[in-house]
C-alpha cells in the first residue's frame, strides 16, 4: 500500500461503506450479540422469566461428555465432507475441461445437485439406503454387507457425509472449471513440448495455478459442512444412532428447538461461532500464506 | 389507462363488499400432514358452514416439535394463534406457561353453556388434567399402542394371536425359523416399550405420580420389570425375532413389505396399514409380561391436544369455545375416529360408532379404546408429565440403541437413562421455578 488515495470529501468513504456496514450490523452483529446475551441467561421456554447465570450454561456444556464427543464427530464429518466435495468437484472439472462437445449439458447436469434443497437431498439418500426399501442397501446386502444406519454409527456417519458432499460437488465443480479455463494455454503447451504427460502437467502446473480457488473453496466448504448440513442430518438420521451423527450445529437445533433450552442453545452457538472464526483465521494465516495470486 | 382506472375501481368495490358480514377469525395451528391434514380442513369447513359468526382457519405448521416451537416463538413476539395442537410430551412445557395458556376448563366454563367435562373418556383426559382434576387442554387426536399382526402369516405358520410376551417371543422365533426375515418390530420404542410397558404393568415411570405431583420428579424406570423386558428384547434381536427398525415410525414399511409378522405401533397407524397392506392384518392388545403381572392394568395415550393461548379478544374466545363444542359432538368425533384410528374422546362418540356397526365391520378397531378403559387408572397408568420430555425421549432412544447394537447391557442403559433423564428434569425445574 505505497500509494494513498485522497478523497476530496472526508465523509465520502464512510458513506460508501455504510450500506455494507448496515447489512453486517443487522444480519450478523445484532443476532450474534443476542446469542451472546442469551448464553449467559437461563430462560424458560416462554420467556416469562429469565435470570442471569454467568457462565453456568458453558460449564454445563463442557461437563457433558456427549457434547465433547460431538467435537470429534464434527471434525471427522467436516474434514471428510470438504475433502470429498473438493476432490469430486476437481475431478469432474478436469474431465469437463477436456470435453468440447456437449459440455454444456454435462455442466448443467453436474450443477443440479446444488439446486436440491438439503432436506430433499437427505430424503433421497435416506430412501436409497433405507435398510428395508433402499436400492443401494439391497445391493450392498447382495454383496454381503449388512447396511444399517439405524443402528450402526459408522454407516450413519458415512451416509450423512456422502449426502452432504454430493450436494456440494456441483458448486465446487463450477469454480474449478472457471479456474481451469483461466490457465493460460501457452504454459501447458510448453510443458507438453517438454514431454510432460497430461497427469504430470496437471499436478505440476495446473493444480498450483488453481491454488487461490482451492483455498477459497476450502474455507467455503468448511463453513458449509459446519452449518448448512443441518438439513441433511435432520432428514436422515436426526443425529442418531446414539448421537453418532450429532454434529455441533445439529446440537444447537436440538437444544434450542426441541427442548426449548435457549440458554444452552445460545451457549453452543457462541462456541460454534468462536470455532469457525478461529478456523477461518487459521486458514487465512497458514494456508493463505502459501497461495499465489 | 382507462382500463387501468376501471380495474382499480372494481378492485376497491370488491374490497368494500367482501366483509359485509364481519366474521371473527380463529387461527388454529396444527401438525397434521397428508390425509390427516385434509381431514382437519374438512372439520374446520364443517364448523364454518354450521354458523356464520366465526371462521376457523387451520394452518399446517410442520411436525409436532416445529408446531410447538413455532407457537412459543410466536407467543414471545405477541403473534400467537388462538389454538395450537401440542403433542403429549409437550404438556409440562405448556403448563409451565402461567399466563401464557388459557386452561380449557376455564374457557368452557365461561363461554360454553352446559359444558360437561364428564362427557369425555377418563382415560383420555387424565393425561391432561391439573393435579386438582381440571382439564387444561382439549384432547383432539389420542392414540395408544397396539400389536398389529399379519393374519396370513399366522395361518401359514399355524400360530395363535399371542397374549403374553412369552407367547410373542415363541411365535416370533417360529416365524424366523420358517424363513421370515424378522419376527417382530416396533415403532416408537420409547413410547411403546418403556412408557406404555410401565403403565400396562402398573410400574412407576417417574416419582411423584409420574411427575403429576410436581417438578421435583425423578426417573423411576430402573426396576427389575423394565430391565428384564429390555433384556428379553435384546435376546430376541440375536436371531432377528426382534429387529430394531430405527426411531419413531420407521418400522412401518417392514410390516407392510411382509418382512415382519408382528408390529407394535400406534392405533392411529390404522389408515396407513389399511391402505398399504396387501395381506390380511389384525390388531390386538399389547401382550402381558407374566413375570410382572397376570393381567394388564391399562395403556396410556399418545397423540396431541388443543391448547388455547392467552392474549386475544373475548369475542374470539367465545368462538374458540363454540368450535370446541362442535369438535366434541359425537358425529364429528366418530367420523374422525373411524377415519384415522385415533380414539374417540367422548363416550357418546364411542357409542355412536358402535351403533353404526363400525367395530363389527372392522374387527379390532376398538382395541385401543378397550386398552385405555381396561381398569381405573392408577398413579402409574394415568399418564406421564415430565419437563424436557422431548429430550428425555431422545435419551431413551439413544440408550436403547446402545443395547440393540451390543454396546451396553440393559441394566447399564436403563441406569444411564435414569441419570441423564434426571439431569434434564433438574434443568427444567431450574428454568421454571
Helix (H) or strand (E) holding B41: helix B34-50
- A8-32 pLDDT, tens digit per residue, is 788 888 999 999 999 999 998 999 9
- A269-284 pLDDT, tens digit per residue, is 999 989 888 888 888 8
Scanning B390-419 for CB atoms below 8 A from A yields: 390-391, 394, 397-399, 401-402, 404-405, 407
CB contact under 8 A, B391 and A259: yes
Residues of chain B in contact with residue A264, where contact means CB-CB under 8 angstroms, are 427
CA B300 to chain centre: 9
Closest-CA residue of A relative to B255 is A132
Whether A1 shows a pLDDT value over 50: the answer reads: no
Scanning A195-214 for CB atoms below 8 A from B yields: none
Q: Model-level pTM?
A: 0.84
pLDDT of residue A289: 72
Residues of chain A in contact with residue B62, where contact means CB-CB under 8 angstroms, are none
Q: Which of A150, A257, A264 sits opposite B65 (nearest CB)?
A: A257
Distance separating alpha carbons of residues B347 and B331, to the nearest angstrom: 12
Helix (H) or strand (E) holding B104: helix B104-111
Distance separating alpha carbons of residues B9 and B34, to the nearest angstrom: 40
Residues of chain A in contact with residue B246, where contact means CB-CB under 8 angstroms, are 131, 150
Distance separating alpha carbons of residues B187 and B198, to the nearest angstrom: 17
Interface membership of B74 toward A (CB under 8 Å) = no
Distance separating alpha carbons of residues B33 and A291, to the nearest angstrom: 51
Interface membership of A44 toward B (CB under 8 Å) = yes
Residues 6+ away with beta carbon under 8 Å from A22: none
B393: closest CA of chain A, how far (Å): 11
Q: Which residue has the cell 363389527?
A: B360
Q: Which of A48, A152, A241 sits opposite B99 (nearest CB)?
A: A48
Residues of chain A in contact with residue B250, where contact means CB-CB under 8 angstroms, are 150
Residues of chain A in contact with residue B254, where contact means CB-CB under 8 angstroms, are 132
Q: State the Cα torsion A127-A133-A135-A141 to the nearest 10°.
A: 120
Q: Is B77 exposed, middle or buried (0-12, 13-18, 19+ CB in 10 A)?
A: exposed
**Of A186-195, A230-239, B20-29, which gets the smallest average pLDDT?**
B20-29
- B145-154 pLDDT, tens digit per residue, is 999 999 999 9
Distance separating alpha carbons of residues A3 and A26, to the nearest angstrom: 33
DSSP string for residues in B181-227: SEEEEESSHIIIIIIIHHHHTT--SBHHHHTTT-TT--B---SHHHH
DSSP string for residues in A170-230: HHHHHHHHHHHHTS-HHHHHHHHHTT--HHHHIIIIIHHHTHHHHHHHHHHHHHIIIIITH
Closest CA to B138 of B321, B389, B352, B334: B321
pLDDT of residue A134: 86
Q: Which residue has the higher pLDDT, B256 or A238?
A: B256
Interface membership of A38 toward B (CB under 8 Å) = no
Residues of chain B in contact with residue A65, where contact means CB-CB under 8 angstroms, are none
pLDDT of residue B227: 98
Q: State the Cα torsion B135-B138-B141-B144 to the nearest 10°.
A: 0
The Cα-based distances of B262 to B140, B285, B432 in angstroms read: 28, 12, 42
B431: closest CA of chain A, how far (Å): 5
pLDDT of residue B19: 46
CB contact under 8 A, B93 and A45: yes
| CA R_g for chain B | 23
CB contact under 8 A, B257 and A133: yes
Residues of chain A in contact with residue B76, where contact means CB-CB under 8 angstroms, are 46-47
Q: What angle do CA B47, B51, B52 make, to 5 degrees?
A: 115
Q: Locate all alpha helices (DSSP H) within B211-305, ordered by sequence.
A: 224-237, 252-256, 270-276
Strand order from edge to edge, sheet including B138-143: B54-60, B24-30, B83-87, B302-308, B138-143
Distance separating alpha carbons of residues B69 and A282, to the nearest angstrom: 37
Q: Which of B66, B402, B431 sits opposite A44 (nearest CB)?
A: B431
CB contact under 8 A, B407 and A242: yes
Helix (H) or strand (E) holding A41: strand A41-43
Closest-CA residue of A relative to B398 is A242
Residues 6+ away with beta carbon under 8 Å from B111: B317, B318, B320, B321, B322
The Cα-based distances of B305 to A90, A241, A259, B358, B359 in angstroms read: 53, 30, 19, 25, 25
Closest-CA residue of B relative to A257 is B69
> What are the grid coordinates assigned to B164, written together?
403374553
Peptide bond just before A241 cis, omega within 30 deg: yes
Closest-CA residue of B relative to A149 is B246
Residues of chain B in contact with residue A263, where contact means CB-CB under 8 angstroms, are 431
Residues of chain B in contact with residue A60, where contact means CB-CB under 8 angstroms, are 427
Distance separating alpha carbons of residues A126 and A235, to the nearest angstrom: 8
8 Å CB contact between B305 and B86: yes
Task: List the single best residue of B80, B311, B401 to mutate versus A (max A Cβ within 10 A).
Answer: B401
Q: How far apart are the first and last CA of chain A?
A: 17
Size of interface A-B (CB pairs under 8 A): 83
Q: Which residue has the higher pLDDT, B172 or A234?
A: B172
The Cα-based distances of B321 to B41, B240, B278, B307 in angstroms read: 18, 51, 43, 12
Averaged pLDDT score across all residues of chain A: 87
Scanning A224-253 for CB atoms below 8 A from B yields: 238, 240-243
Closest-CA residue of A relative to B64 is A258
8 Å CB contact between A50 and A42: yes
Closest CA to B348 of B361, B363, B362, B330: B330
Closest CA to A246 of A172, A258, B232, B196: A258
Q: Which residues of chain B have pLDDT under 70?
A: 1-21
Interface membership of A59 toward B (CB under 8 Å) = no
- A87-141 pLDDT, tens digit per residue, is 999 999 988 887 766 677 888 888 888 888 888 888 889 889 987 778 998 899 8
B12: closest CA of chain A, how far (Å): 37
Q: Which of A48, A152, A241 sits opposite B97 (nearest CB)?
A: A48
DSSP at A46: T
DSSP string for residues in B337-402: HHHH-PBPSBHHHHHHHHHTTHHHHSTTTTHHHHHHTSSPPPTTTS----TTHHHHHHHHHHHHHH
Amino acid at each position: 500500500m505505497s500509494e494513498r488515495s485522497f478523497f476530496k470529501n472526508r465523509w465520502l468513504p464512510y458513506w460508501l461503506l455504510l450500506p455494507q456496514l448496515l447489512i453486517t450490523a443487522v444480519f450478523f452483529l445484532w443476532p450474534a450479540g443476542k446469542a451472546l446475551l442469551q448464553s449467559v441467561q437461563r430462560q424458560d421456554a416462554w420467556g416469562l422469566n429469565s435470570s442471569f447465570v454467568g457462565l453456568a450454561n458453558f460449564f454445563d456444556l463442557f461437563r457433558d461428555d456427549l457434547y465433547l464427543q460431538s467435537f470429534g464427530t464434527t471434525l471427522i464429518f467436516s474434514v471428510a465432507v470438504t475433502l470429498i466435495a473438493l476432490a469430486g468437484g476437481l475431478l469432474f472439472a478436469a474431465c469437463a475441461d477436456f470435453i468440447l462437445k456437449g459440455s454444456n449439458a454435462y455442466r448443467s447436469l453436474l450443477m443440479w445437485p446444488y439446486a436440491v434443497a438439503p432436506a430433499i437431498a437427505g430424503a433421497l439418500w435416506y430412501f436409497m439406503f433405507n435398510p428395508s426399501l433402499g436400492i443401494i442397501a439391497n445391493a450392498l446386502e447382495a454383496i454381503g454387507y449388512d447396511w444399517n444406519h439405524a443402528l450402526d454409527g459408522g454407516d450413519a456417519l458415512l451416509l450423512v457425509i456422502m449426502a452432504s458432499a454430493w450436494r456440494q460437488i456441483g458448486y465446487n465443480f463450477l469454480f474449478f472449471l472457471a479456474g481451469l479455463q483461466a490457465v493460460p494455454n501457452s504454459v501447458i503447451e510448453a510443458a507438453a513440448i517438454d514431454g510432460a504427460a497430461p497427469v504430470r502437467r496437471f499436478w505440476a502446473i495446473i493444480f498450483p495455478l488453481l491454488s487461490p480457488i482451492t483455498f477459497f473453496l476450502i474455507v467455503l466448504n468448511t463453513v458449509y459442512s459446519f452449518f448448512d448440513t443441518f438439513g441433511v442430518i435432520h432428514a436422515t438420521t436426526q443425529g442418531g444412532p446414539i448421537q453418532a451423527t450429532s454434529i455441533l450445529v445439529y446440537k444447537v437445533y436440538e437444544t434450542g428447538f426441541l427442548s426449548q433450552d435457549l440458554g444452552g442453545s445460545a451457549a453452543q452457538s457462541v462456541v460454534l461461532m468462536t470455532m469457525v472464526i478461529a478456523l477461518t483465521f487459521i486458514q487465512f494465516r497458514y494456508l493463505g500464506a502459501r497461495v499465489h495470486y | 389507462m382507462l382500463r387501468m382506472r376501471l380495474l382499480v375501481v372494481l378492485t376497491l368495490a370488491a374490497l368494500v363488499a367482501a366483509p359485509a358480514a364481519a366474521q371473527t377469525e380463529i387461527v388454529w395451528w396444527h401438525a397434521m400432514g397428508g390425509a390427516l391434514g385434509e381431514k382437519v380442513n374438512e372439520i374446520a369447513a364443517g364448523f364454518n358452514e354450521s354458523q356464520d359468526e366465526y371462521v376457523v382457519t387451520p394452518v399446517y405448521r410442520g411436525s409436532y416439535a416445529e408446531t410447538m416451537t413455532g407457537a412459543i416463538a410466536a407467543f414471545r413476539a405477541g403473534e400467537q394463534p388462538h389454538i395450537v395442537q401440542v403433542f403429549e410430551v409437550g404438556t409440562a412445557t405448556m403448563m409451565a406457561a402461567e399466563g401464557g395458556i388459557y386452561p380449557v376448563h376455564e374457557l368452557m366454563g365461561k363461554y360454553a353453556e352446559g359444558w360437561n367435562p364428564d362427557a369425555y373418556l377418563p382415560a383420555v383426559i387424565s393425561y391432561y388434567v391439573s393435579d386438582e382434576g381440571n382439564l387444561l387442554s382439549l384432547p383432539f387426536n389420542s392414540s395408544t399402542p397396539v400389536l398389529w399382526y399379519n393374519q396370513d402369516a399366522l395361518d401359514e405358520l399355524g400360530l395363535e394371536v399371542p397374549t403374553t410376551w412369552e407367547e410373542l417371543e415363541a411365535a416370533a422365533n417360529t416365524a424366523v425359523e420358517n424363513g421370515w426375515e424378522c419376527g417382530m418390530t416396533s415403532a416408537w420404542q420409547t413410547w411403546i416399550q418403556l412408557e406404555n410397558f410401565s403403565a400396562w404393568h402398573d410400574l412407576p415411570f417417574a416419582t411423584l405420580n409420574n411427575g403429576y405431583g410436581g417438578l421435583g420428579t425423578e426417573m423411576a424406570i430402573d426396576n427389575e420389570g423394565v430391565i428384564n423386558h429390555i433384556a428379553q428384547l435384546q435376546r430376541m434381536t440375536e436371531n432377528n425375532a426382534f429387529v430394531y427398525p430405527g426411531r419413531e415410525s420407521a418400522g412401518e414399511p417392514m410390516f407392510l413389505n411382509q418382512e415382519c409378522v408382528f408390529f407394535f405401533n400406534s392405533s392411529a397407524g390404522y389408515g396407513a396399514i389399511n391402505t398399504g397392506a396387501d395381506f390380511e392384518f389384525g390388531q390386538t392388545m399389547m401382550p402381558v409380561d407374566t413375570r410382572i403381572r397376570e393381567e394388564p392394568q391399562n395403556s396410556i395415550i399418545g397423540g396431541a391436544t388443543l391448547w388455547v393461548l392467552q392474549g386475544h379478544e373475548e369475542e374470539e374466545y367465545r368462538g374458540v369455545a363454540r368450535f370446541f363444542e362442535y369438535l366434541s359432538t359425537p358425529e364429528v368425533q366418530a367420523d374422525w375416529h373411524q377415519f384415522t384410528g385415533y380414539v374417540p374422546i367422548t363416550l357418546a362418540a364411542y357409542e355412536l360408532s358402535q351403533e353404526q356397526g363400525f367395530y363389527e365391520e372392522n374387527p379390532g378397531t376398538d382395541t385401543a379404546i378397550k386398552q385405555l378403559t381396561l381398569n381405573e387408572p392408577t398413579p402409574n397408568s394415568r399418564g406421564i408429565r415430565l419437563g424436557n420430555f422431548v429430550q428425555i425421549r431422545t435419551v431413551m432412544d439413544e440408550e436403547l440403541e446402545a443395547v440393540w447394537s451390543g454396546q451396553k447391557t440393559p441394566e447399564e442403559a436403563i441406569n444411564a437413562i435414569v441419570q441423564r433423564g434426571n439431569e434434564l428434569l433438574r434443568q427444567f425445574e431450574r428454568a421454571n421455578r
